Amino acid sequence: MPGSVAEPVTEPLWEPAGAPVSRPPSPPGFPAAPELLETAGTRFRRFMEQRLPALVEGVARSWIETLGLTAVPVEVSDVDAFGMSQEFVERWQPVLARLLSDYFRAELRGLEKLPAEGPAILVCNHSGVLPYDELLLKVAVRESGGRNGSPGRDIRPLSEDFAINAPFAGSFLNRFGLVRASRDNAERLLRAGHIIAAFPEGTQGIAKRYENRQRLQRFHSSGFVELALRTGAPLYPVALGPIGLLPLPSRWNIQVGDAIRASGGEVAAEDRSTVARVTEEVRAKLQGMLTALTSVRRSADSPASGTRRRSAAAGRSSAPRR
């Protein structure tokens, strides 16, 4: 019976808590002629068209407000071509910079070597199981500052698939400036004049065993060298340490090495031996920096274990694994 369908809905028995539902003005005391003629069908249709959407919206709004269910951690008004929001970066930078300086007590060295403009490739090691170093490197470079007190450049770390596609975290990282690691993305970013940070160990670098944590893994990709040759962007080895399983509050080092300029252009980028030679050069330099970093750190922390580890690390680095 249509009347019984329309009855509870023209005058809802309950209202959602939260946002008020807009209500049409109550009819005057004496119903007008058209309303007398109104059938249950038109009342029902009017409810479906006017009242129900408002009702559903009210309920949903209150549900969202109560449970805090919004689409993303933070809403932003605009993003650049690769999803970074300046507004979002400015909001989160102080929080993360504080984490970097107070929790990780990070020591930043050589960041002034990075170019003030134009493209560059940072070649980094993975320092732990979680890919938080990608995020913190970006924070560190921005924190290191540019000329006359302005914030440093927004580098674009190339992130592992699983991080950039993770629910919640993925959109956070993307709004903060991380980009999914792919050759096409890297090339577009370089051509647009960005600094990219590559982690050529790939997931291997994250999954490496604890006893191998000092050892740079075989570079999963030499794509970054091909890109450097093709675009003329300088390569900077960046050592991140210490290498830890978890983000423990240990003292952190971020060290930028001297630039390696790979020349040769398109022709050299096609040549496997040139690519392999430059890749090995970068890898050796980064391994050297890591070894030095660790031995200095160990001896400062505890002299006895430091000597042992230093010799162990030196022994490893003399015979790099292929």
Partner 1 sequence: MSTRSPRRAPRAAKRRPSRAIAVTGAFGFLGRRLLARLEADPAVDRILALDLKPPPGLLRKTAFVRIDLASPRTDVQIAAALREEKIDTLVHLALFFNPIQNAAYAHEVEVVGTRQLLAAAEAAKVKALVVCGTTAVYGARPDNPNYLREDAPLRPPRQSRYMSDKLEVERQVAAFAQAHPRTSVAILRLGSMLGPSVKNPATRLFGRALVPVILGRDPLMQFLHEEDAVEALHRAVMAKAAGPFNVAASGVLPISSIIQLLGRTPLALPAPIAQASLAALWSTFGIGTPPSWLDYLCYLWVADGSRASTELGLRYQYTTRETVLAFGAIGRARQAPSAEAILGA
Q: Where along the sequence are the contacts to partner 1 (CB under 8 A)? A: 53, 56-57, 60-61, 64, 69-72, 75-79, 81-83, 161, 165, 167-168, 170-171, 174-175, 179-180, 182, 184-185, 188
Pairing mode, strands 179-180 and 156-159: parallel
Shortest gap between Cβ of 232 and partner 1 (angstroms)? 22
The residue among 64 and 284 lying less far from partner 1, judged by its C-beta, is 64
Residue 123, SS3 per DSSP: strand
Shortest gap between Cβ of 185 and partner 1 (angstroms)? 5
CB 221 within 8 A of CB 202: yes
The rounded distance, in Å, linking the Cα atoms of 157 and 172 is 13
The rounded distance, in Å, linking the Cα atoms of 155 and 177 is 7
Structure tokens at 80: 């650049």
The residue among 31 and 53 lying less far from partner 1, judged by its C-beta, is 53
The residue among 101 and 185 lying less far from partner 1, judged by its C-beta, is 185
Structure tokens at 180: 């999914």
Shortest gap between Cβ of 167 and partner 1 (angstroms)? 3
The residues, ordered by sequence, that sit 6+ positions from 69 with a Cβ below 8 Å of its Cβ are: 63
Shortest gap between Cβ of 164 and partner 1 (angstroms)? 8
* CA-based nearest residue to 213, from 302, 284, 301, 125: 125
The residue among 138 and 213 lying less far from partner 1, judged by its C-beta, is 138
The residue among 133 and 160 lying less far from partner 1, judged by its C-beta, is 160
Virtual torsion, Cα 144, 238, 290, 218, nearest 10 deg = 160
The residue among 58 and 257 lying less far from partner 1, judged by its C-beta, is 58
Shortest gap between Cβ of 169 and partner 1 (angstroms)? 8
Residue 232: Cβ-neighbour burial (10 angstroms; 0-12, 13-18, 19+): middle
Shortest gap between Cβ of 131 and partner 1 (angstroms)? 15
Which DSSP symbol is given to 72? S
